Each structure stands twice: as C-alpha cells, then as structure tokens.
Amino acid sequence: MALIVQKFGGSSVANAERVFNVADIVTKTYAEGNSVVVVVSAQGDTTDDLIEKAQEINPQASKREMDMLLTAGEQISASLLAMAIEKLGYPVVSLLGWQAGFHTSSAYGSARIKRVIPDRIKKELDKKNIVIVTGFQGINRYDDMTTLGRGGSDTSAVAIAAVMNADLCQIYTDVEGVFTADPRKVKNARKLSVISYDEMLELASLGAQVLNNRSVEMAKKYNIQLEVLSSLTRAKGTIVKEAKQMEKMMISGVAKDEKVARISIIGVPDKPGLAFKIFSKLAAKNVNVDIILQSIGRNGTKDISFTVDQQNLKDTIELLSAYVELIGASSVVYDENVAKVSVVGAGMETHPGVAADMFEALYEANINITMISTSEIKISVLISKEDADKAVAVIHDKFFSEAIHA
Amino acid sequence: MALIVQKFGGSSVANAERVFNVADIVTKTYAEGNSVVVVVSAQGDTTDDLIEKAQEINPQASKREMDMLLTAGEQISASLLAMAIEKLGYPVVSLLGWQAGFHTSSAYGSARIKRVIPDRIKKELDKKNIVIVTGFQGINRYDDMTTLGRGGSDTSAVAIAAVMNADLCQIYTDVEGVFTADPRKVKNARKLSVISYDEMLELASLGAQVLNNRSVEMAKKYNIQLEVLSSLTRAKGTIVKEAKQMEKMMISGVAKDEKVARISIIGVPDKPGLAFKIFSKLAAKNVNVDIILQSIGRNGTKDISFTVDQQNLKDTIELLSAYVELIGASSVVYDENVAKVSVVGAGMETHPGVAADMFEALYEANINITMISTSEIKISVLISKEDADKAVAVIHDKFFSEAIHA
C-alpha cells in the first residue's frame, strides 16, 4: 500500500495501442493495492503539430496564446488515457493542471511551479480513483494557462510526489534507465541500477536527456526517490536517490554534448574586473556559460574562451561584438565544431587519478583536448565534434571494461 | 460605440486562411469603435477527429472524459484566432469557458448554462482587448469541464450577449442568412431580411439547421437581437428579433425534415387515459413526439400514430413493444420512409387560407399527405420521403412566386 506517481512521456502514449499499454501498467500498479497518480505528456508529435499550426498563423504569437494552445495537447492525452483505463474497468478521473492545483509563476512558456494545492487529487484518491494529471502545465495568478517548458512533465510528476509525500515517482520513458554511456553508440554501455541526484544532474546537463534537470533538482530538494524506466520493455529501471544512501561509484557515466559552441574574446586588456563585467553581461541576458579558459596575459592582453549552448550562440556573438570595442578587446571568434565529453561520478572526489585515466584514454586514441573543466563529481573536456563518439567509446572502455567500481 | 458579440462556427475557422478571414471581420468591427466579444467553435473537423480518437480507445467512454477531450478543440481554435488578431496588430486575449465564467449543469455532453459571471470578460474589455471565448463549454459545480452539446456555441454567444446586455449578437456561419427554403434545392429561395424568434424556432426545429434552437429561445427570453450571416461573403444577413417590432410576414419559409419516422400503435382499446399513459411514458424517456394522429375508434379500438426523430426510433419501438401488450393493443408498426414539410409564418394566424393553398400545391403535384399538424405559425404535413424536395419546391412556388406577403 504505497502512493506511487507515474509519469509517461509523449512517445509512451503516441497512439491507441501505446495508450492501452500505459493503461495496463497503471492499472496493474493500482490492482496491487497502491494509490496511483499518473502524469501524462501530450501524445507523440501533438505539441510539435500545434506549434506548426501557430507558426503558420503567427510566428511571433504571444507566449500567453502559445500556452493556451499547447496545454490542449495534454488535455487530449489525459482524457484518452482515462478512457482506456475506464475500458479496462478501473475507476479513473483526469484532471487539468489547474484542477490538480498547479499554481505557477507568470512566465508563459517557461513557468515555474510556485505551489501545488493537491486538494482535488486527494479527494479523488480517497474515492479510490486512479488520478490522471496533465503534465507540463498550470495556471498563474491571473488564472491564465501556463506551460513549464519542454520536459516540464517530469517536474509536474516530481512536484506531485513531493507535495503528496509519495513513496516513489516513476518516470516512464523510451529508454530502460540511465546508462554508463549512450547504449545506441557504446556497445558495452551498462544500465545503472542506482545513481545519485547529483550525478543525475551532471549527466542530464551534459546531454544525456533522460530526465529534465529541474525535476531532478526538485526530487533532490524534497528527497523523492525517482525511478527511470521504459514503458515498453517494463524492465527494472534506474533508481535516482540520495548519494549517502548508497555505495558511491567512482564513475557513473560518460556523456557527450554536441550542442555547444566555443567563443573566444581575443586581446582583452589585462585589467582587473573585465572578465567579471563580460560574464555579468551574459548572465543578465540569461546566457549560461560553461567551461571557461583564460589565457595567461601577454603584452598586456589575454584571451578569454568559454562555451555556450549553440542556441545561445547568435545572441551571444551579437552582444559581445558590440561590447568588445567598449572594453578595448580586439575581436570575438567562435567555433561550432566542438563537443563536450564528460565523466560523472560521485566517488570521484575520493578516488584520485580519474582525470589522468580519462586523458590517457584520449591520448591513446589520438584525440586532442581543447579545454578542460572539473568539479567534485565531473570532468569535462572540449574536443572536435568528429571525435566525440570515439572519445565516449574509449573513455567508457577505460573505466568500465576494467570494472574499477569503488 | 456598441458591444457586439460575434460567433464563428467551425467551418469559418477551418484553416489558417479562414482564421485570418475571421480575424479581419473581428478587427474591422473593433476598429469601428465597438467592443467585441468573439465566440468560436472548434476548427472544421476537429471535434469529429477527437471523437474518432475516443472511439478507437473506448466507444463507451464516460461523458465526463469525452467532455474533457472535446473541450480541447475550442481551446485550439480560440488561441489560433487570438494569434491571427495579434498578427494584425490588435490587442486580444482568448479565454476558456471557465475563465469566461460559464457555469453549467453537471450533465456532461449536454450541459445547460446555469449562469455566466462575466467579470473577466468585462475586465478584458475595459483594457480595450478583443475578447475571444471558447464556445460550447463551461464548468460544473465540481469544477469539471462540460460541453453544451452540438450547436452549443450559438448558445454560448447568446448567453454572453444576454448577460453583457450586448447591442447585437452576430452568428457567422456558412450560409448567408435565413432563406424561405433551402437555397441549394429551391432556385427561387429568398433570403429574409428579418424574421421573428418564433418563426426561427419553428424553422430550426424543422431542420433548417441555421441556428441552434436553445440559442434562439435564449435570445427571445432576453430579447437579444441576432443576425445570421456568412463569414465568407460578408453580405448583410437575416436579423432575428421580436415579432411585434416588425411587419408580420404571412409565410417566412418552407422547411423539410427527413430525419423523422412515423410510429403507429394499432388496436388501442378505446378507453380514456390510454393515450395519456403512452405519451407520458415516452416523455419520461425524453422521446419528443411531434405530429399525433388518432383514428376514430371502431370496434372498441383505435390507432394512434405519431412521429419521432429517427434517432429515437429504436428506443421508442423497444419501449412500446413491451408496453403494447400491457395496455391491450395489438401491435406497433413504423415507417422511416417519410418526411415532414412545413410552412412557417407569424402572419399566418391572421391570414386564413394558408393551409388550403399548401394542400392545393401538393394536390396539383400529385403528392399524398399522410398526417397534418398545425400551430398558430406553422402547418406541417407528413409525406413520402421521395416527394420531399418536390413538395418544398411547389409549396415555395405557391407562396413566393405570387408574392403574397402581408
């Protein structure tokens, strides 16, 4: 007798057959005596189809109206899933974000959950109903529909789990769990049975694309145990929980991110405070800067390099081009032909030599490293994009073929 | 400076081009200095597509979940129309039924509007916004989504017009107004410039399918002036208003209804109260009975015939078959190969001879009349279905080629 929150992504409910597959998972969980709250995304390509309809009419449509449009997607999938569960003979009710008590900030398109008031969810659970909630959406203080941004359904699920103090939050997706590397690319990639929140956060931000980062942050904050698993194979997935509860692995995974670009500001005068000014300016524009490398000053100038998401590249270059002259630097150059490859592991801090092993693997494969960044549980290197897959393979081989788990 | 409510049906917003056509009509009305509230149906076949999705999953889906599904249709069309209006540079906001204050009964699928609390609509109009409201929907006392049934968007529009005391409620559709007969069938059919609520009600119930009956009833009750017109041709339409305000026409139109069936109960004992019992029983099952004919009793029995909608035929036959024996009648027979043809006109009551002219026209065309029913403003006859179009044509000719308007 537990309270379980189950979240299903768009591919899990893409068509009638898949909807019934999900209904089967949900009702089996319910039939075992659990209370079940289901969070569902829009079906397959619904969101993209709706965006296309909007683009056809007004590519500059307001975010308010975009949210009004897009929230219809989950409304459709939630009611269809409810109908499938009815068909299987179980009591069920679907609720929209606002009915489920999701109150968000007013930032249409990327709203943050401010609070969840789960009165209606509780009432329906008391009535022994399976409760389906539309993910990705809520209402703001004007009573207008808002969306949480892409991947927001994960966050919706964790928020319900947090406020309801759920025993488990299962994130069903189209992969079987969290792997030591991308299983489509690295043949020896292993599924992890458990991983810490911090490692998951590093992997997610590195492009592993298994879980939305905000959802992991929220799970960590409220100590909600997550399980990432596949709705199709139904194999046991990967548990994400607090690191101290488990044996620390030295390395939990190898990830790559090809959607980065490197920007260099050449000839920055060697005066204190300029780097601070540059990065404050970028922060004010919400540009997230990752690896930063500053050359040693020579002739009274230095070069500052850093990486940004490719989607921020154009804006960042425009911003800096105007600024470069003002601070007396000579030019701004950029390179999109780069990839970031990282190893992540909570045990890394107590196991020296991880960086050395990683660099050795790259050296043996003749892969050149342009930039390096390290944190307590992560080492990232910037390399040429064409080397990325090979780099992941050789690094994965280095750590996992030798089975050097702590 | 007037407050105008404009309602657009699904065909008026079927694609991006049509959405911009509607945006043009709306913004022109607004630019003339009017406050504008727009009520919109789901795009083209959206509702049917959603119903098909539901059918694929569960043909016996609960009405609650069907309403949850279907209300997404207007949400999509309302937001897309708002985006088109934004594109034209006008201030606009779209509102869902619940945001616009539509409170309904709990009868999912065919809810009745209980009250409209237009606070939000007023607030948005005060801000000089064009306000778009999703038609066909509201919420019930459980805060659940409800729909008003097919054609409900007309009712939504009239309800807003009533509660806001609007100066005019325009119902844009794919026909240019109300005609003296179906213009696709009768070549001399004329568009009426004005018609009374009562005549419109008779025509609508007779299958003219221009305006939803509940919306006309509500317009009559609150004395809201309606205009039926085409969003495509934009020609002046037909005004629907109180009869006393206008010259009464003897005949306002000829209509046919082919979706009827005749049922006869044969050999009903000639005892008082049996007819009452039969029709009470049908009323209790919500079967609407139209023309009733009772034969003169012979041998202590009589036959009772009446017409029902074809969609009620099966249920009615089942109901009566069980009941016939109980009351001592001999059998129940039915005929679906019938059509009802009617002339409607508020001036009829003061102009004798309309019935005679109608029957003469049918006689000259060699069309046999099976049943007759009359009211103050309507005469209906039941004939064979194959004669229906011809009957409409000859009756229309009789009254309109001779220009015998009062």
Q: What is the ipTM of this complex?
A: 0.79
Pick the residue of B18, B20, B57, B102 with the most A CBs within 10 A to test the interface with A by mutation. B57
In chain A, what are the domains? 3-174 (3.40.1160.10)
Which chain A positions have a beta carbon within 8 Å of B86's beta carbon?
58, 60-62, 65
What is the per-residue pLDDT for A378? 86
B-chain residue closest to A23, CA distance: B57
Residues 22-51 of A with CB under 8 A from B: 50
A14 and chain B in contact, CB less than 8 A: no
**Residue from B51, B58, B63 to probe the interface with A (highest A Cβ count within 10 Å):** B58
- List chain A residues with CB under 8 Å of B99: 143-144
List the structure tokens of B309: 């909608």
Q: Report the Cα B149 to chain-centroid distance in Å.
A: 11
- List Cβ<8 Å contacts ≥24 apart for B283-287: B285/B315, B285/B316, B285/B319, B287/B312, B287/B315, B287/B316, B287/B319
Query: A55 in contact with B at a CB cutoff of 8 Å?
Result: no
Check if B141 contacts A (Cβ < 8 Å): no
| Phi and psi angles of residue A141, each rounded to the nearest 5 degrees, phi first | -70, -10
Binding residues of B: 7-10, 47, 74, 173-174, 184
Chain A's closest residue to B101, CA to CA, is: A143
- Token pair recorded at residue B335: 């005929």
Per-residue confidence in pLDDT tens, chain B, 406 aa: 799 999 999 999 999 999 999 999 999 999 999 999 999 999 988 989 999 999 999 999 999 999 999 999 999 999 999 999 999 999 999 999 999 999 999 999 989 999 999 999 999 999 999 999 999 999 999 999 999 976 799 999 999 999 999 999 999 988 889 888 888 888 888 888 999 998 888 887 666 678 888 899 999 999 999 999 999 898 999 999 987 645 556 788 898 999 899 999 988 887 777 877 888 888 887 787 888 877 776 677 888 888 998 888 988 898 888 888 888 888 899 999 999 999 988 777 777 778 888 888 999 999 988 888 877 788 889 999 999 999 999 999 888 875 434 3
Mean pLDDT by 10 residues, chain A (406 residues): 94 95 98 98 92 96 97 98 98 98 94 95 98 97 91 93 96 89 83 90 74 89 94 91 66 88 89 80 81 75 87 88 85 92 82 82 90 83 93 90 48
Both structure tokens of A192: 């992890």
Query: Taking CB atoms and an 8 Å limit, are A72 and B72 in contact across chains?
Result: yes
Spatial separation of the C-alpha atoms in residues B146 and A243, rounded to whole Å: 47
Helix (H, G, I), strand (E, B) or coil at A370: coil
**Interchain proximity A66–B86, CB inside 8 Å:** no
Distance from CA of A56 to the nearest CA of B (A): 7
pLDDT for residue A8? 97
Indicate the residue of B57, B83, B145 with minimum beta-carbon distance to A57: B83
Please tell me whether A7 is known to bind a ligand: yes
* Chain B interface includes A317 (CB < 8 A): no
Helix pair B274-284, B313-327: axis angle to 10 deg: 150
Size of interface A-B (CB pairs under 8 A): 114
Query: Closest to B99 (Cβ–Cβ): which among A86, A99, A143?
Result: A143
| Phi, psi at A18, each rounded to 5° | -65, -35
**Quick check: A158 and A219 in contact, CB under 8 A?**
yes
Contacting residues for A106 by C-beta, under 8 A, at least 6 apart: A140, A141, A142, A144, A146
For residue A247, give the 3-state DSSP assignment. Answer: coil
Which residues are bridge partners to B230 per DSSP? B173
Give the dihedral of Cα atoms A382, A386, A392, A398; nearest 10 deg.
-90
- Could B82 and A99 be called an inter-chain contact, meaning their C-beta atoms sit closer than 8 Å? no
Can you give the pLDDT at residue A274?
A: 80
Q: What pLDDT score does B247 carry?
A: 55
Nearest CA-CA partner of A200 in A184, A215, A185, A182: A215
